[in-house]
Amino acid sequence: SQQGEEDPQALSIQEGENATMNCSYKTSINNLQWYRQNSGRGLVHLILIRSNEREKHSGRLRVTLDTSKKSSSLLITASRAADTASYFCATVSGGYNKLIFGAGTRLAVHP
Amino acid sequence: GAVVSQHPSRVICKSGTSVKIECRSLDFQATTMFWYRQFPKQSLMLMATSNEGSKATYEQGVEKDKFLINHASLTLSTLTVTSAHPEDSSFYICSATHLAGYNEQFFGPGTRLTVL
């Protein structure tokens, strides 16, 4: 089952612009993770934020987590054409290490 | 490090045949492996969780007799789609967690299954 929704479903921007993707979830979580998937390929882990963290940075990525609203956002700054991919959030809850994925956002960055 | 491979990357088969997909952790020991299915332009749906040496735990709605999972060693898990039908055509992805780690799953490149 899917944990929640991501918005937007699709995002089209120009190189150099920032891209913001949002993720909402339904249950309490241990952590939330963001992944990237290039078309027809496997997933690449981008960043993990724990339930007691509010913000995390990694290079051009910035992730926020609001547990009171059960939502997270991924910001990609100064986007590049190579950032074109689908981005998924995934949550881990309870004592199991199962990832429950959101619906994903398809990002297209145009040169 | 932390590389996961899948074989084959693509398979086309006739309806009614069985297909086996392998998932290997190449440079680490994986206590747990996960199998996901992804339909075009959709998200990943967890099918089952596989622990080495024990029976897999299937998610609700996944037929355990149709999707046989074997996790015989700390580096290999297999998914067999039995009596495949066109509706089983999908992208199957495995992931593995490191013996020494906990939170991060390392994903394989996926296997595209097409059932004619």
A77-92 pLDDT, tens digit each: 999 999 999 999 999 8
Rounded (5°) CA angle B70-B73-B75: 105
Here the tokens at position B3 are: 């590389």
Ranges of chain B with pLDDT below 50: none
Residue of A nearest to B110 (CA): A42
> pLDDT band at A1, cuts 50/70/90?
very low
pLDDT at B1: 65
Residue from A24, A50, A92, A99 to probe the interface with B (highest B Cβ count within 10 Å) = A99
Here the tokens at position A32 are: 């939330």
pLDDT > 70 in chain A, percent: 95
The answer to whether the Cβ–Cβ distance between A48 and B32 falls below 8 Å is: no
Residue B19 to residues A105, B35, B78, Cα–Cα distance (Å): 31, 15, 10
Asked if B68 and B80 count as a contact pair (C-beta separation under 8 A), the reply is yes
Residue B62 to residues A33, A34, B37, B57, B95, Cα–Cα distance (Å): 24, 25, 11, 10, 18
**Beta bridge mates, A55:** A64
The answer to whether the Cβ–Cβ distance between B93 and A102 falls below 8 Å is: no
pLDDT at A97: 76
A65-75 pLDDT, tens digit each: 999 999 999 99
- Which of chain B's residues have a Cβ under 8 Å away from the Cβ of A88? 43-44
Residue of A nearest to B49 (CA): A98
A17-38 pLDDT, tens digit each: 999 999 999 989 999 999 999 9
- State how far the Cα of A27 lies from the Cα of A24, in Å rounded to an integer: 10
Q: Report whether pLDDT(A2) > 60.
A: no
The answer to whether the Cβ–Cβ distance between B110 and A104 falls below 8 Å is: no
Q: Which of A40, A99, A103 sits opposite B46 (nearest CB)?
A: A99
pLDDT at A3: 59
